[in-house]
């Protein structure tokens, strides 16, 4: 069994990279985005390369992630853990948030990161519009920030390693305590907003994910049946 989140992800995807790994539904917009294991792995590698080659970060450094449950959030979290970074996670609506967009701030080793993503020693800040199809942000990018999607596309689809993630053992312990079933899981992020619940938990169970946000409760049962997924 994997001892790091990246190794859990690699184990699930490695069974058949062409199969759907994460299917994302947003009932507020009608969006449905499906990513195979191979496609999400490319986003993960690009993110890790951005953090390591673009930002000069590595094991012991910190990523402050202020993002809601989303497929891009999965790519960023897995990319940060793959690069060996520690993650300080919070939802973007947390009190004191310094921008109105979902965001990722990366900081040098031993930086102190506050609830809003402010940090001593911050080197790079990236903002996400979370647009469908992984499109860049619409409109202007806030001063002092870069568009994550526009920047990450410049980096390679393969991360040469070494793969980090040694600091994710505590997350895996919490995830395994959930005792989720394997197979394919439907997760309503409105009731399970913690990434341990909607991302690490399914990985620890060896499961693929159907992630639903802004969920219409009347659609969940039919969605689970259509996706052949077990709701949790």
Neighbouring C-beta atoms of residue 218, cutoff 10 Å = 8
pLDDT digits (tens, 9 = 90+) for 141-175: 888 888 999 999 999 999 998 888 767 889 999 99
Q: Which residue has the higher pLDDT, 122 or 164?
A: 164
**What pTM did the predictor assign?**
0.89
Ramachandran sector of residue 213 (left: φ over 0; alpha: ψ -120 to 50; beta: rest): beta
Tell me what pLDDT residue 2 has. 64
Q: Which residue has the higher pLDDT, 95 or 6?
A: 6
Q: Which residue has the higher pLDDT, 85 or 121?
A: 85
Tell me what pLDDT residue 15 has. 95
- Which of 64-78, 111-125, 147-161 shows the lowest mean pLDDT across its residues? 111-125
104 is written with which tokens? 């990722």
Tell me what pLDDT residue 120 has. 47
Give the residue carrying structure tokens 């996706």.
227
Reply yes or no on whether the pLDDT at 132 is more than 90.
Answer: no
- CA angle, 224 as apex, 219 and 226 as ends, to 5°? 95
User: pLDDT tier at 107 (50, 70, 90 boundaries)?
Assistant: very low
**Domains, the chain, ordered by start:** 5-231 (3.40.50.12780)
Of 205, 164, 163, 213, the closest CA to residue 188 belongs to 213
Tell me what pLDDT residue 101 has. 44
- Asked if residue 115 lies in contact with residue 90, where contact means CB atoms within 8 angstroms, the answer is yes
Of 95, 92, 78, 94, the closest CA to residue 142 belongs to 92
Q: In whole angstroms, give the CA distance from residue 227 to residue 125.
A: 36
End-to-end C-alpha distance for the chain, whole angstroms? 22
């Amino acid at each position: 069994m994997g001892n790091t989140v990246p190794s859990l992800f690699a184990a699930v995807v490695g069974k058949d990279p062409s199969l759907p790994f994460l299917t994302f539904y947003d009932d507020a917009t009608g969006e449905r985005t499906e990513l195979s294991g191979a496609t999400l792995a490319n986003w993960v590698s690009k993110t890790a390369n951005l953090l390591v080659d673009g930002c000069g970060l590595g094991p012991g450094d910190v990523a402050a992630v202020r993002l809601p449950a989303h497929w891009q959030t999965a790519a960023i979290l897995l990319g940060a853990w793959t690069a060996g970074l520690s993650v300080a996670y919070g939802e973007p609506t947390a009190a004191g948030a310094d921008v109105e967009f979902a965001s990722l701030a990366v900081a040098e080793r031993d930086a102190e990161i506050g609830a809003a993503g402010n940090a001593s020693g911050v080197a790079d800040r990236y903002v996400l519009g979370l647009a469908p199809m992984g499109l860049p942000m619409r409109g202007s990018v806030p001063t002092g920030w870069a568009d994550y999607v526009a920047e990450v596309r410049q980096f390679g689809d393969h991360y040469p390693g070494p793969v980090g993630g040694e600091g994710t053992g505590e997350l895996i312990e919490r995830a395994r305590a959930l005792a989720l079933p394997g197979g394919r899981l439907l997760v309503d992020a409105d009731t399970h907003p913690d990434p341990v619940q909607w991302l690490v938990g399914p990985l620890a169970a060896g499961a693929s994910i159907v992630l639903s946000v802004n969920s219409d409760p009347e659609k969940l049962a039919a969605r689970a049946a259509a996706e052949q997924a077990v709701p949790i």
